[in-house]
């Protein structure tokens, strides 16, 4: 009897963090879709109409993976204004519309793109 109660308590304790992670994953996925996917695409490769028009880079590329978390946080927070091959690349910053935690989650999301 004690073993069953202990096992049930342990199972509950282990499942709660998993459920919490699943909710966090859904939230960051929604943020990605709302703020990033129109240019970067669902897969981060930038093969959308807007992404190709602006010649944005592939976030799954090894060069993108070399950026530090601090670099990604700055890019997401402050945005990008540059020019590549004669094409202006502009991305608004999201520091006013995303929390620091959400920005950290997006950095992790970018890192997980394959």
Give residue 8's pLDDT. Answer: 58
Mean per-residue pLDDT pooled into runs of 10, the chain (114 residues):
57 52 76 94 95 92 95 96 86 95 93 90
Give residue 97's pLDDT. Answer: 95
> How far from each other are the two terminal CA atoms of the chain, in whole angstroms?
47
Grouping H, G, I as helix, E, B as strand and the rest as coil, residue 19 is: helix
- Where along the chain do its domains lie? 2-112
* Joined tokens for residue 85: 């091959």
CATH 3.40.50 correct for 2-112: no
Give residue 17's pLDDT. Answer: 52
pTM above 0.85, yes or no: no
Give residue 6's pLDDT. Answer: 60
């Amino acid at each position: 009897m004690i073993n069953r109660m202990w096992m049930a308590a342990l199972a509950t304790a282990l499942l709660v963090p998993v459920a919490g992670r699943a909710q966090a994953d859904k939230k960051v996925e929604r943020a990605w879709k709302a703020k990033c996917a129109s240019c970067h695409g669902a897969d981060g490769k930038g093969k959308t109409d807007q992404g190709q028009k602006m010649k944005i880079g592939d976030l799954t590329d090894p060069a993108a993976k070399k950026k530090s978390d601090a670099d990604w946080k700055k890019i997401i927070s402050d945005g990008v204004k540059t020019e590549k091959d004669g094409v202006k690349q502009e991305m608004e910053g999201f520091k006013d519309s995303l929390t620091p935690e959400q920005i950290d989650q997006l950095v992790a999301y970018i890192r997980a793109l394959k």
